[in-house]
Structure 1
Amino acid sequence: MEFSDVSVFIGRFFGFYLLIVAVALLVNRKRLISIVKSFADNPALMIFSGFVNLVLGLLAVMFHNIWVSDWRLVVTILAWLTLVKGLGRWFFPDVAKKMAVKVNDRWVVITALSCLVVGLYLLSNTF
């Protein structure tokens, strides 16, 4: 079964991105917790990052909105989550700020391991 080049490209993009995020979170846990909390206090950065997530999420959803029961479903869900994250930072910055303030060591480890598993899953299915 062959998959479209777009599915493979976006799957690899998310796979590598999640793998890099996982390693960065595990290597720099304490520093990243501090950065996330200070990020929440910067409204301009919150809006800008929301814009970046909005654009990337919208592009990913427009090019890959495939609801099938294989690895492409993970890509579609990640695309929608990216879009929702961008919209959330634009329309509900106070909620995003409250979430950022709650970031702790346990959250970082759980997030890193989740990113690692999903990233490896996508990479193993797109190469």
Structure 2
Amino acid sequence: MVMPALGALPGPAGIAAMQSVNRVAVRPPFMALFLGAAVLCLLLAGWELAGERRPLVLAGAALHLVGAVGVTVAANVPLNDALAGADGSAVQQWGDYLRRWTAWNTVRTAASLAAGALLVVALAGTG
């Protein structure tokens, strides 16, 4: 709902709003949650590889690391970095940014939901 709302703004206002969101996001509370989840997935995967090797735990951890963290690092952050230097006249760039960022965010959201479901099922003892 956020990206369509930003997309409905005139180009310069949308660019400025997203630049502000990107600056505010990179703060300790968000980074602790984002990186903390990645560290937990790495620990879970390591624990599983050293022990039981439950496939759903390994799949959930890998899906989160690749689909959420990997997509963020490889796709969304570079798009954010490119937009950071744009000024209000970059309306063409804004349209391309919205399309690409939203597509990658959809991948990231689906991967996060699937990873969470796999981990819940596996760690609840049914996987």
TM range (shorter): 0.3 to 0.5
TM-score by length of 1: 0.45
